[in-house]
């Protein structure tokens, strides 16, 4: 060890540009996304069938928090606080959960194509949620759907994880094929539940399945808040260990990571986040795929930025998508899940092509 302590060798690397530049990019991105959120939240709150000027939105917000401002007339207050704000908060929570779940999942699987929607975890969580709605279960109050979504989501992640890994690695083909199988099975179960459900429940489920935030209320926000907050709070604690996992399971263990425990905790966190998103908003695909990818391309693959950054950008992206979904075809409303899939699947296709080119075919 003393030999290595000789001061003769250079202290700073000759080409420190990339990692350092990436760190700067990471800070700039965080600032930009945060600024985007600060701008978009009041704009989204003011936009809609009943327009409210942004100044009034801010005034009402200040008034409610007791920092001055003025109260609006009764209709505007009601629209803002009973319709728009719950929806915005829900969009932020769902977006953050999906973005973060995507980043974690790609890290755990060591595969950039892993995403809750693609590998079937969202559908798995949906099975629980649909079951709860179809059979009118409500013994846990507003949390019933979330709890069922979490339980079935968790089972699905475990199944996918166990089936798609061999020899400590997850091949792309195995992962995607497992996703197809899981999605098919989940679809069959959902169909079965629909068959047994009454007409009202069928309508509710069909609309919910398309992925939408139109039914947002404060109780719904409360229903997802525990899952989302717990997941989002725990995820960044494992960022450094996820970096090490990129080396492979054994090297990560050599560097002191308790890999088995890390896997179990992260699978639980992924299930929590996915359940939070799915239980209120249905299956909203590709946010967890596109968001971490964009960040990785811009600021490198380090999870200490990627995990919280994906949550932040996911929130922004979903808020923007929801704003578009409810304003593009006014007065009708596009289902949010349809919109994200329309934009996300070409991206997925491009990613798939690129990965295949790099690996020189799938076989």
Question: Residues interacting with another protein, by CB under 8 A?
Answer: 1-5, 9-19, 22, 110-112, 240, 243-248, 250-251, 253-259, 296, 300-302
Closest contact distance (angstroms) between CB of 339 and another protein is 29
CB 292 within 8 A of CB 102: yes
Query: For residue 278, with 0-12 CB atoms within 10 Å meaning exposed, 13-18 middle and 19 or more buried, which class applies?
Result: buried
Closest contact distance (angstroms) between CB of 166 and another protein is 14
Closest contact distance (angstroms) between CB of 102 and another protein is 14
Closest contact distance (angstroms) between CB of 255 and another protein is 5
Q: 167 or 361: whose CB is closer to another protein? A: 167
CA atoms of 306 and 230, how far apart (whole Å): 18
CB 133 within 8 A of CB 143: no
Closest contact distance (angstroms) between CB of 248 and another protein is 6
Q: 169 or 353: whose CB is closer to another protein? A: 169
Hey, which bits of 114-210 come out as E strands? 165-166, 169-170
Q: 250 or 356: whose CB is closer to another protein? A: 250
What is the b/e burial string over 60-73, where b = at least 16 CB atoms within 10 angstroms of the residue's CB? bbeeeeeeebeebe
Q: 192 or 246: whose CB is closer to another protein? A: 246
CA atoms of 197 and 4, how far apart (whole Å): 71
Place of tokens 């639980």: 268
Q: 36 or 248: whose CB is closer to another protein? A: 248
If we measure between CA atoms, which residue out of 206, 208, 205, 159 comes closest to residue 182? 159
Question: Which ranges constitute the DSSP H helices of 210-302?
Answer: 218-234, 239-245, 249-254, 259-281, 287-299
Place of tokens 């908060």: 89
SS3 label, residue 73? coil
Q: 3 or 162: whose CB is closer to another protein? A: 3
Closest contact distance (angstroms) between CB of 151 and another protein is 24
Closest contact distance (angstroms) between CB of 77 and another protein is 47
Q: 63 or 253: whose CB is closer to another protein? A: 253
Q: 2 or 199: whose CB is closer to another protein? A: 2
CB 287 within 8 A of CB 318: yes
Q: How far is CA 150 from CA 224, 226, 270, in A?
A: 11, 12, 10
Closest contact distance (angstroms) between CB of 4 and another protein is 5
């Amino acid at each position: 060890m003393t030999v290595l302590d000789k001061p003769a060798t250079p202290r700073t690397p000759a080409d420190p540009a990339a990692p350092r530049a990436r760190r700067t990019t990471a800070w700039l991105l965080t600032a930009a996304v945060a600024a985007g959120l600060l701008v978009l939240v009041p704009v989204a709150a003011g936009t809609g069938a009943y327009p409210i000027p942004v100044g009034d939105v801010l005034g009402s917000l200040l008034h409610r928090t007791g920092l001055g401002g003025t109260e609006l007339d009764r209709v505007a207050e009601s629209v803002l606080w009973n319709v728009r704000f719950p929806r915005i908060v829900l969009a932020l929570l769902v977006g953050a959960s999906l973005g973060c779940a995507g980043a974690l999942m790609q890290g755990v699987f060591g595969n950039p194509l892993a995403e809750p929607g693609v590998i079937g975890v969202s559908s798995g969580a949906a099975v629980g949620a649909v079951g709860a709605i179809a059979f009118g279960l409500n013994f846990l109050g507003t949390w019933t759907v979330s709890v069922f979504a979490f339980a079935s989501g968790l089972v699905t992640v475990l199944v996918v994880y166990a089936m798609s890994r061999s020899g400590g690695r997850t091949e792309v083909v195995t992962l995607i094929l497992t996703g197809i199988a899981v999605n098919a099975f989940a679809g069959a179960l959902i169909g079965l539940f629909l068959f047994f459900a009454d007409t009202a429940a069928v309508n509710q489920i069909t609309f919910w399945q398309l992925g939408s935030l139109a039914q947002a209320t404060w109780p719904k926000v409360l229903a997802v808040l525990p899952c989302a907050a717990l997941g989002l709070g725990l995820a960044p604690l494992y960022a450094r260990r996820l970096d090490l996992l990129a080396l492979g399971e054994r090297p990560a263990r050599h560097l002191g990571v308790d890999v088995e425990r890390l896997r179990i905790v992260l699978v639980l966190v992924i299930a929590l986040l996915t359940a939070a998103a799915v239980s209120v908003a249905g299956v909203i695909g590709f946010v967890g795929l596109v968001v971490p990818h964009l960040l990785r391309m811009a600021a490198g693959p380090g999870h200490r930025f990627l995990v919280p950054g994906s949550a932040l950008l996911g929130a922004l992206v979903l808020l923007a998508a929801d704003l578009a979904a409810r304003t593009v075809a006014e007065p009708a409303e596009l289902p949010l899940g349809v919109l994200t899939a329309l934009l996300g699947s070409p991206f997925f296709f491009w990613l798939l092509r690129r990965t295949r080119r790099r690996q020189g075919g799938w076989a």
